[in-house]
Structure 1
Amino acid sequence: MPITASPEQLLDLLEAPYWKTPGSTSRKTEGRTARRTEGAAAVNLTVVDHIRAGRQVLATAKRIEAEGTPLALRKAVALRQAQALKSLALMGERTDVRKIPCPYCGAHGLMLTKAGRAVCINRHCAAAGVQRSWGLVELLMAAPARPSGVRRSVTRPRDDRDPAVIVRFLANTAYPISLDRFHRLARMYDLPSWASRTAKNPRTRAYSLSDVLTVHAIETAKRNPADCAAAPKPACDGLADAFFKANDESKDNVIVGLQANEAKALCQGCPFLDPCLAAALAEADEAQHGVRGGLNAKERRELKTATQTPTAHVLKGRQPDRRYRTEKRSS
């Protein structure tokens, strides 16, 4: 995700007197009662608190980066990028999050909420009518998603927009399109349209933003195969050290446990979670190593023991009953 300024530069910019004055951001720093009794605040406390917390986040990212493992480097980059997005949002620039594709549907339809979470506005991505949302660090560490198939609204949806509005929305993504290309895509994928509710020209047609987002994601994946592979990637792709050195006895047990927990967190939501776990459980106990299928080696061995049939569990490793054999011969 290209961010023009570094998080350090953005925090330095927020140190400027303009940003520290009351009312410089959209969030109020005090209520009416406080203003009447104590007067206006000397500084914008929202900005001051953000700068202090941002410095701590960057220090944490630097400390994590010093570990040198692929997972640590990946998390440090995510922390820094998330901090930059929060600083830009405080300055009123909340559209940079649209440059990141949705980890579930692959569409560039993410919006940043006031709570600092990224929400996908693609109707086709919602699970049972509930919008999917992610924390910024979680979003930036997620594996690229494969775009879903073409979706077409049957009835007129609530997110129908004029083509010009949709083009302006996509202009803030990493892959903008022109108005002419928008119409070509609409004809190519046979997207449904309705009479515009806002345009003065009665012949102007409106399209569902969610329909266009799915088509835009598919075309983006075709034109940029390096950004989104033809098949979904597992979350552990390129992070073998983090997943298979979780049982390294040369390291401190606390550090190993933390790395294993981070590796397990990456497994959640992976489309290969079930087959990965099934393949790991099919191997012998002595071959169980590292984090696979969201479980470490000990947890997988315990799961295998719990799922074995009672007869196999009782007879496994049990010596023959010599007394029974002697009694049988004497009879």
Structure 2
Amino acid sequence: MPISPSPERLLDLLEAPHWKTPGSTSRKTEGPTARRTEGAAAVNLTVVDHIAAGRRTLAEADRLAAEGTPLARRKAEALRQAQALKSLALMGERTDVRRHACPYCGAYALLLSKAGRAVCINRHCAPAGVQRSWSLVELLMAAPGRPSGVRRSEARPRDDRDPAVIVRFLQHTAHPLTSDQLRRLVTMYELPSWPSRTHRDPRTRSYSLSDVLTAHAVDAAKRTPSDCAQSPRPACDGLADAFFGETKMGGVKVEEAKALCQACPFREPCLEAALADSDVLQHGVRGGLTARERRDLKTRELKAREEGPRDPSKCTQGHDLAGDNLYIRPSSGQRSCRTCTRAAEKRYRQKSKR
């Protein structure tokens, strides 16, 4: 595996005049309004800002490394590696992120997005319609995920690719494949195939990239088991955008997010930590409950603690739950007070007349 230049060396290279000239990278340095009112920038502002931010990042990494604690050293190294990946991406080399496995599914399916986040393109990694993503520092601090097994597409997916394309994609990973190894993988795990979209010859087959990635991850884990984490990971790992929206965000609805929480081994400690936060910080789906549900739960628990143990033979207002005053709902069996119910109905009618 080629050794990447140090982050300091990459920042020194970006200091060269030809990198600082306008248009030296593919990213826009200013908008049309700025060009009309102020003229063209004398330098590539993207590169200049990147260099300044990179120097600050490396200084923070040095400070953390000086602390000497294992966590501080680990984060310092992650900051340095992330800075190197960002510099390489600015120079046009965006494939280095593929050397890292997805922290959730263990597949070598990561791409660097325009926002600078590592995105897993494996369809079998996240719920339908979304993709898991991590900041580069989060990615480099996390251990590779443990593959859950080989997944196979039941119908022809949108990510079916010819074998040559799949080989080129995996060429930049920590475990590249040759064409012969890909054929062995397809045969060993009985991966489905379809007629190629690009070749007229019907004998030419294409395969789902996600199917191959899951099989490749399982095969790589067998060959190098130390590369894979043995501990389970939270179901929401890499899906922050999907879990922190009250109605719908990132393609995942609240019901789907809550369903993932129910099967998560960390649901109870997650809910406990969420309930410990103040009402101002209650946002998104955590522990299988929305922010409103968590606030209501905290209110009920606080009220119950203030009132102390309640007499089951009386309602909250002190009325006897017996005789004609007791009503039991046939559907749920819930006990309610007729006096309180009539009082609530009376207040509602008076309010409606206003």
Q: TM-score, normalised by structure 2?
A: 0.65
- Aligned residue in 1 for 2:154: 154
| Structure-2 change in CA distance of 1:25 and 1:85 (3 Å) | same
Q: What are the residue-to-residue correspondences of 1:72-151 with 2, within 5 Å?
A: 72-151=72-151
Whether 2:45 is the aligned partner of 1:45: answer yes
Give the drift of 1:2.
Answer: 6.9
Deviations 1:140-194 (A, max 9, x none): 1112211121100000000000000000000011110100110111011000000
SS in 1 for 2:47: helix
Letter paired with 1:120: C
Distance, in Å, in 1 between the alignment partners of 2:2 and 2:217 is: 18
Q: Is the 8 A contact 1:18 1:24 kept in 2?
A: yes
Percent of aligned pairs with the same residue? 73
SS in 2 for 1:148: coil
- Aligned residue in 2 for 1:167: 167
Give the drift of 1:9.
Answer: 0.7
Unaligned segments of structure 2, at least 5 residues? 235-263, 271-300, 310-354
SS in 1 for 2:227: coil
| Higher RCO (C-alpha 8 Å, min separation 6) | 1
SS in 1 for 2:43: coil
| Structure-2 change in CA distance of 1:234 and 1:164 (3 Å) | closer
Give the drift of 1:202.
Answer: 2.9
Q: Based on CA coordinates, which of the two structures has the bigger radius of gyration? A: 2
- Aligned residue in 2 for 1:226: 226
Q: Is the 8 A contact 1:143 1:233 kept in 2?
A: no
Q: What are the residue-to-residue correspondences of 1:158-197 with 2, within 5 Å?
A: 158-197=158-197
- Aligned residue in 2 for 1:328: none
Letter paired with 2:231: P
SS in 1 for 2:207: strand
Q: TM-score, normalised by structure 1?
A: 0.69
Distance, in Å, in 1 between the alignment partners of 2:128 and 2:197 is: 28
SS in 2 for 1:125: coil
C-alpha RMSD of the superposition: 2.8
The alignment of Structure 1 onto Structure 2 pairs a total of residues equal to 251
- Aligned residue in 1 for 2:28: 28
Distance, in Å, in 2 between the alignment partners of 1:168 and 1:146 is: 24
| Structure-2 change in CA distance of 1:203 and 1:234 (3 Å) | closer
Distance, in Å, in 2 between the alignment partners of 1:104 and 1:129 is: 17
Q: Is the 8 A contact 1:167 1:176 kept in 2?
A: yes
Unaligned segments of structure 1, at least 5 residues? 236-270, 278-305, 315-331
- Aligned residue in 2 for 1:297: none
Give the drift of 1:232.
Answer: 3.0
- Aligned residue in 2 for 1:207: 207
